[in-house]
Amino acid sequence: MRILILPAFAALFLCTAVHAQQWQVTRTLHIGGEGGWDYVTVDSQNHRLFVPRSTHTMVLDEDGKTLADIPGQKHNHGVAIVPSVNRGYITDGGGTGAIVVFDLKSYQVLGTIPALPDADGIIYDAHDNLVLAVSGDEGTLMTFRPDIDPKAGKVDKIELGGKPEFLATDGTGKVYINLEDKDTIAVVDLSQKKVIARWPVAPGGQPVGMSIDPARHVIFIGCRNPQRLVVMNTETGKVAAALPIGTGVDATIFVNGQALASTGDGNLTVAAASSGKWQVAQTLKTATGARTMGIDTGNHRRRKRKQSQQNQRRPRGPGRFGAIDRVGGRPLLLPGEPR
Domains and CATH numbers, the chain: 2-335 (2.130.10.10)
Average pLDDT over residues 281-288: 88
Average pLDDT over residues 319-330: 49
Mention every residue, 6+ apart, whose C-beta is less than 8 A from residue 58: 33, 50, 51, 66, 68, 69, 70
**Alpha-carbon gap, residue 244 to 280, rounded angstroms:** 8
Side by side, which strands form the sheet with 267-274? 249-255, 258-263, 267-274, 277-285
Q: Which residue has the higher pLDDT, 276 or 245?
A: 245
**Alpha-carbon gap, residue 12 to 144, rounded angstroms:** 36
What pLDDT score does 42 carry? 86
What pLDDT score does 291 carry? 82
On the question of pLDDT at 140 being above 70, the answer is: yes
On the question of pLDDT at 325 being above 70, the answer is: no
On the question of pLDDT at 79 being above 90, the answer is: yes
| Cα 79 → chain centroid | 9
Q: Which residue has the higher pLDDT, 78 or 291?
A: 78
pLDDT band at 195, cuts 50/70/90? very high
Rounded to the nearest integer, the mean pLDDT of the chain is 85
Q: Which residue has the higher pLDDT, 89 or 12?
A: 89
Q: Which of 49-63, 84-98, 161-175, 282-296 has the lowest mean pLDDT?
A: 282-296
What pLDDT score does 289 carry? 81
**Alpha-carbon gap, residue 143 to 156, rounded angstroms:** 5
- 59, 33 Cβ separation under 8 angstroms: no
What pLDDT, in 10s, does the model give residues 204-258?
999 999 999 999 999 999 999 999 999 999 999 999 999 999 999 999 999 889 9
What pLDDT score does 307 carry? 45
**Alpha-carbon gap, residue 291 to 268, rounded angstroms:** 8
Q: How far is CA 278 from CA 127, 167, 272, in A?
A: 29, 22, 5
